[in-house]
Amino acid sequence: MNKILYKKQLSQNVFSMVLEAPLIARERKPGQFIIVQLGGDFGERIPLTIADADAEKGTISLIIQAVGVTTLRLVNLNVGEYVANVLGPLGHPTPIKKYGKVIGVGGGIGVAPLHPVVQALKAIGNEVKIVIGARSKELIVMEKELRVIDPDLTIVTDDGSYGKKALVTEPLKEACETWKPDLAIAMGPPIMMKFCAATTRPFNVHTLVSLNTIMIDGTGMCGGCRVNVGDETKFVCVDGPDFDGHLVDWDNMMLRLGTYRAQEQEADHRCRVGLNK
């Protein structure tokens, strides 16, 4: 199990990977994720969204952005090698219902988790509009797959190197004003999701976000993934990963994400030093 069947570099540090994982492929639903650990006593456990799955072939696909030690080690594995530990599918699936008009907003590699969700929403008859954004052209991934769902897909980049020079919140606001969606789904970096939620709030558009807190076990055991949602503390791994974006305490969540920044930078540095040898 967990054999790497396919690997492709999508942009400078974004890779797509297909793993043999028949049990997970059979059970998973859009919105769910896995936890990966690369073996040995010392490996870290990291969460990754299941971007797609083929129950018949028994495979799952991942989109991985190499940002630190574990993601870097993962994308350096080759086809034919094995990922030692893969646990899933975890979390609650995104509720796939008839909402009417749905706008999906993906930032950076947030388009990876967005894809299966908008695909499923479209399949049951929702009208789907998609906005994707990134810092620059090289970081836009999965455009082709998303165009299948929304041929009028809107693309924005921070530097204007592709699509319109804007942040995703701009077309989102426009859509809220003119298209009037019944539901917005935002997936991407926390700061982007925070501003998407702020954008839809005045229009009273229900906004789902998929949170990417730090996790260890992914089973509800450690509480490291907790966030404030409304007046409650929620565990992202078992209560989420989707929440009402208007209720999430973004500032606290972002601070918590930075808990280990100093140590991560040190480890990342060590790791890259090793790789360059």
Partner 1 sequence: MHQTREQLDVQAKEILGKFSYDTITMKERMGIPAQEMPAQDPAVRVCNMEEVAIGYTENQVRVEALRCLQCKNRPCVQGCPVSIDIPGFIAKAAAGDFASAISILKDSSLLPSICGRVCPQEVQCQLTCTVGKAKKDIDQAVAIGRIERFCADWARENNAEPAMEIAPATGKKVAIVGSGPAGVTAAADVRRAGHEVVMFEALHKAGGVLVYGIPEFRLPKAIVQKELDNLTAMGVDIELDFLVGRTRKIHDLMDVDGFDAVFVGSGAGLPRFMGIPGENLVGVFSANEYLTRSNLMKAYDHENAQTPLFHSKKVAVFGGGNVAMDAARTAKRLGADEVYIVYRRTEEEMPARKEEVHHAKEEGIKFLMLHAPVEIVGDEKGKVAGVKLITCELGEPDASGRRRPVEIQGSEKIYDFDSVVVSIGNSSNPLIKQTTPEIEVNKWGNFIVDEETCQTSMKGVFAGGDIVLGAATVILAMGQGRKAAKAINDYLAAL
Ligand X SMILES: Cc1cc2nc3c(=O)[nH]c(=O)nc-3n(C[C@H](O)[C@H](O)[C@H](O)COP(=O)(O)OP(=O)(O)OC[C@H]3O[C@@H](n4cnc5c(N)ncnc54)[C@H](O)[C@@H]3O)c2cc1C
Sign of CA dihedral 189, 194, 247, 187: negative
258 counts as binding partner 1 under rule CB under 8 A: yes
Nearest position to ligand X, beta carbon:
68
Q: Provide the minimum distance between the beta carbon of 84 and partner 1 in the complex, in angstroms, as a whole number.
A: 7
55 counts as binding partner 1 under rule CB under 8 A: no
44, 143, 158, 170: which one binds ligand X (CB under 6 A): 44
**Count of other CB atoms within 10 angstroms of residue 248:** 23
Q: Which of 201, 223, 198 is nearest to 213 (CA)?
A: 223
Whichever of 18 and 50 has its CB closer to ligand FES, that residue is 50
The listed partner (ligand X, partner 1, ligand FES, none) that binds 259, CB under 5 to 8 Å by sort, is partner 1
How many chain residues are in contact with ligand X, going by CB under 6 A? 28
215 counts as binding ligand FES under rule CB under 6 A: yes
Q: Work out whether strand 52-54 and strand 45-49 pair parallel, antiparallel, or are unpaired.
A: unpaired
Q: Provide the minimum distance between the beta carbon of 94 and ligand FES in the complex, in angstroms, as a whole number.
A: 18
224 counts as binding ligand FES under rule CB under 6 A: yes
254 counts as binding ligand X under rule CB under 6 A: no
**Count of other CB atoms within 10 angstroms of residue 40:** 8
Residue 89, preceding peptide bond in cis (omega within 30° of 0): yes
223 counts as binding ligand FES under rule CB under 6 A: yes
Q: Which two tokens stand for residue 208?
A: 């789902």
198 counts as binding ligand X under rule CB under 6 A: no
Q: Provide the minimum distance between the beta carbon of 72 and ligand X in the complex, in angstroms, as a whole number.
A: 6
Instruction: Output the CA–CA distances (angstroms, integers) from residue 29 to 51, 57, 98, 239, in the order listed.
Output: 10, 16, 16, 15
Q: Provide the minimum distance between the beta carbon of 174 and ligand X in the complex, in angstroms, as a whole number.
A: 28
3-state secondary structure of 4: strand
Q: Provide the minimum distance between the beta carbon of 9 and ligand X in the complex, in angstroms, as a whole number.
A: 13
Binding residues: 63-65, 222, 225, 237
212 counts as binding ligand X under rule CB under 6 A: yes
Instruction: Output the CA–CA distances (angstroms, integers) from residue 136 to 10, 67, 103, 126, 160, in the order listed.
Output: 13, 17, 22, 30, 7
Q: Provide the minimum distance between the beta carbon of 234 and partner 1 in the complex, in angstroms, as a whole number.
A: 10
The listed partner (ligand FES, ligand X, partner 1, none) that binds 109, CB under 5 to 8 Å by sort, is ligand X
The widest CA-to-CA distance across the chain, in whole angstroms, is: 55
Contacts of 166 (CB under 8 A, 6+ apart): 133, 156
Residues that bind ligand FES (CB under 6 A): 215-218, 220-225, 235, 237
